[in-house]
Amino acid sequence: MDIEHIVLPALVLMTSLGAVVLGTWRLGLAPRRLGGAALRAVETIGLLVAFGVANVALGIAGVLAYRGLTGEFMSFYVLNDAILGLLSLLQALVFQWWRAGRRD
């Protein structure tokens, strides 16, 4: 394997280990709760996918409606934009924090 291929994963691994050390020794976080936090992160990614799919589905319906109502052309490619992914992530994060705060 080319050494360049492992640079990015190695960087992330090292900073993650650093964060675990910092969290445990300096911030007093419990290592046993790390698994739950990771699970929560994976769940957030799942929410991101759900919001992304919902946004694209709504977008497709909107494009079809626009074409049908105005007779003018609008491309489906307007939906193929990374910004929609970032906005879906924002939606997922807000929803997740809203949900997590339910017991505050």
Partner 1 sequence: MQPGARPARLFVWIGAAALLLLAAGSFTPLPNALNRLMAGRTELSPAEAIVVPGRGGADADEILTNRSLRRTLRAIALYQRNLAPILVFSGDSGEIDARVRLARGLGVPVEHIVAAYGAHTTREESAVLERLLRPRGVRRVLLVADPIDMPRTRALLEGRGFVVLGAPTASSGPGDPESRLHLLREIASELAAWGYYRLRGWL
Which residues contribute to the site for partner 1 (CB under 8 A)? 5, 8-9, 36, 39-50, 73, 75-77, 80, 82, 97, 99-104
Task: Please answer whether residues 78 and 86 qualify as being in contact, where contact means their C-beta atoms are separated by less than 8 angstroms.
Answer: no
Contact 99, 50 (CB under 8 A): no
The least distance separating partner 1 from the CB of residue 25, rounded to whole angstroms, comes to: 22
CB of 84 to partner 1, least distance (A): 11
Shortest distance (Å) from residue 35 CB to partner 1: 11
79: nearest Cα among 65, 61, 60, 51? 60
The residue among 32, 40, 14, 30 whose CA lies nearest residue 100 is: 40
Residue number, 14 or 97, with CB nearest to partner 1: 97
